Amino acid sequence: MNFGVEEARKITKASKVPLHFVTCDEDARLASEIALAAGWTANSVTSLQECISHSKTITLEDEIRLMQYDARLAAIYAERGVPQCPWNTSHLSGYDSAGYHSFVHVTEAVLAAEQGVKCQFLSHGVNMNLLQDIAMIRVSEKLCYEYCARLGYEGVEFIAGVYPFLGAWPPRDDEANAMIAWNATIPVMGGFPGMILKCQDEAFATPTKEGMARSVRLARHMLTIMGSQRMPDNEALRREQSMIELEVRTLLDKCLEIGEGDMAVGLCKGVAAGWIDTMVTPWKHNPGKVLLVRDAENAVRYLDTGNIPLPEEVKEYHRTKIAERESRDGRKANIDMVVEDIQSFSTLP
């Protein structure tokens, strides 16, 4: 936007790797036009994600229309021989359930596929629990493929990746480095090819190029140390994955039901009716009835599901996990615990 096609093309010529255009704009159409015309290989295809993360007043219906333009633009480039892999992101606010993350990914996947997008990068904002984050990403991948095929969009490819925790970061380099290292561990242990990094400056100001270089070196050495280690299959992982999948399927099928097969219509009706909901967002159309806390292993759980129509099995699973935390801490989970958990990773000893 600031420099136009010619200046953006200089970056393309100077780079040996693909370039992705990332934005926090509700309306990124002009910026997408500039980036793709300059030879960049990805824009963003986000609607509900954009509303939750960066918007206040725009309606989901209007945001979907803007997203459809960006998605169709990427598809046109690909159809004419210029490969594109738009980012389907579910970073949200950093205080969202694993199921909500996956639900957003699958809905965005379907909306982009409707516009002809054949390759999407799934950028998952993580909650910082290794087992839950791996389960979440596996559910997203599985259901993105399944629901696109189910709705007639064949041949769509998905590449999974991890985006750093978007909650509050610690205001000291040592603790920030621990956050970076842990964020790098999750995609390695899950076997996912995509890794995005933040840097030590995250809690202080706009990240610097020097800080980002340090993060890259740290993450690269983590890859060297970890080698081919992966999270082994286990009962806890399978159980977590099955609960997330059951939650996401329930919401997706309800969207398709009330939208009469149209995911966009179902999403808009779901928000209006109050059963598509998360806890923290500047977006005024979000119902805000949900409360989330961490369990004894720091996984994110529903303390209050609001009006989300979760199956009773999922609700009971979350209640059981919260009860383990209550037993450990010797107190009941309540709004005070919710507030404490929001600052749990940024509080210095």
- Give the per-residue SS3 of 265-325: HHHHHHHHHCCCCCCCCCCCCCCCCCEEEECCCCCEEEEECCCCCCCHHHHHHHHHHHHHH
Low-confidence ranges of the chain (pLDDT < 50): none
The pair of structure tokens assigned to 233 is 């299959």
Residue-level pLDDT at 51 = 96
How many residues can be counted in the chain? Answer: 349
For 4-226, the fitting CATH number among 3.40.50.300, 2.60.450.10, 3.20.20.240, 1.10.3720.10 is 3.20.20.240
Which pairing describes strands 87-90 and 119-125: parallel, antiparallel, or unpaired? parallel
**Close Cβ partners of 156 (under 8 Å, ≥ 6 residues apart):** 109, 113, 117, 118, 119, 120, 144, 145, 148, 149
> How is the chain split into domains, by residue range?
4-226
- Cα(252)–Cα(91) distance, integer angstroms: 19
Single out the residue of 244, 225, 231 nearest to residue 302, CA to CA: 244
Single out the residue of 102, 101, 74 nearest to residue 86, CA to CA: 74
Q: Point out which residues pair with 122 in neighbouring strands.
A: 88, 160
Which pairing describes strands 300-304 and 291-294: parallel, antiparallel, or unpaired? antiparallel
Q: Which amino acid is it at 160?
A: A
- Taking residue 230's Cβ as centre, other Cβ atoms within 10 Å add up to 12
Query: Is residue 20 a contact partner of residue 39, using CB atoms and an 8 Å limit?
Result: no
The pair of structure tokens assigned to 154 is 């064949």
Q: Point out which residues pair with 88 in neighbouring strands.
A: 122
Q: Point out which residues pair with 160 in neighbouring strands.
A: 122
E strand residue ranges, 85-176 = 87-90, 119-125, 157-163
Residue-level pLDDT at 87 = 96
Residue 195: enclosing H or E segment and its boundaries?
strand 194-195
- Cα(128)–Cα(3) distance, integer angstroms: 37
Residue-level pLDDT at 63 = 98
- Cα(243)–Cα(98) distance, integer angstroms: 10
* Model confidence pLDDT, tens digit, residues 60-94: 999 999 999 999 999 999 999 999 999 999 999 99
R_g (Cα) of the chain, nearest Å: 20
The CA–CA distances, whole Å, from 86 to 24, 40, 139, 176 equal 15, 10, 20, 29
For residue 231, what is the DSSP state?
Answer: P
Residue-level pLDDT at 349 = 86
CA 216 remoteness from chain centre:
21
* Model confidence pLDDT, tens digit, residues 23-41: 888 999 999 999 999 999 9
**Close Cβ partners of 242 (under 8 Å, ≥ 6 residues apart):** none
Residue-level pLDDT at 3 = 86
Residue-level pLDDT at 201 = 83
Residue-level pLDDT at 23 = 83
pTM for this prediction: 0.95
- Cα(303)–Cα(56) distance, integer angstroms: 25
- Cα(43)–Cα(33) distance, integer angstroms: 9
- Cα(261)–Cα(238) distance, integer angstroms: 30
Backbone region of residue 286 per phi and psi (left: phi > 0; alpha: psi in -120 to 50; beta: other values): beta
